[in-house]
Amino acid sequence: MKKAFTTLLLGCSLFMSGLLSFDGAFQVAAAAEVDESKIDGLKCFIMVRKDVKGKKVVDYKDGKLFLCCSSCVKKMDRDPDKYEAKANFQLVYTGQYRQHACPFTGKEVTSESPQVEVDGGSLGIVEIKVCSDEMVKQLDAMEFGDQVKTVFGPKGFEAGKFSAE
């Protein structure tokens, strides 16, 4: 009994000190599933002419980012804010994150909500929903880079309640 209590106490101490962690088990359950078919032919969002398949995979938010090389990993690590919108775009494109609200208003979207294609060419095409036809027109009038910043940048991503769930 004394040995079991000592073992339990040691385990709790190690867990609290961070030397022993159960995060891995929980992260596996919470991590989003990657649609592998979307990776084939996908280009790096930093070096847009380079393939990502079989290259560098890094943890990002509750998912994985696919990059072409160590140099791009370093760029992402150095200045994540610069690449945040395109990284978020890739999370949605690869099926790891899903939209739950309008990225303009934060209001709930339904299967009946107007839809817009954000076409990133070799970076993929993501279909998003918005609250009105006017918002569709606004997005359609934008270039790809502006669409990505608007929808997948920090404000749009938060308002759109994009998540791994």
132-154: pLDDT as tens digits? 999 999 999 999 999 999 999 99
pLDDT of residue 31: 55
Q: What's the pLDDT band for 14 if we cut at 50, 70, 90?
A: very low
Q: Report the distance separating Cα 97 and Cα 21, nearest Å.
A: 26
Residue in the structure block whose two tokens are 């990002």 = 60
For residues 40 and 56, the answer to whether their CB atoms sit within 8 Å is no
Q: Which helix H or strand E contains 63, and what residues bound it? A: strand 63-67
Q: Report the distance separating Cα 54 and Cα 71, nearest Å.
A: 15
Whole-prediction pTM: 0.79
Distance set, CA 137 to CA 101, 131, 134, 141 (Å): 18, 12, 5, 6
Q: Report the distance separating Cα 69 and Cα 89, nearest Å.
A: 19
The one-character DSSP state at 163 is B
Three-state DSSP at 148 gives helix
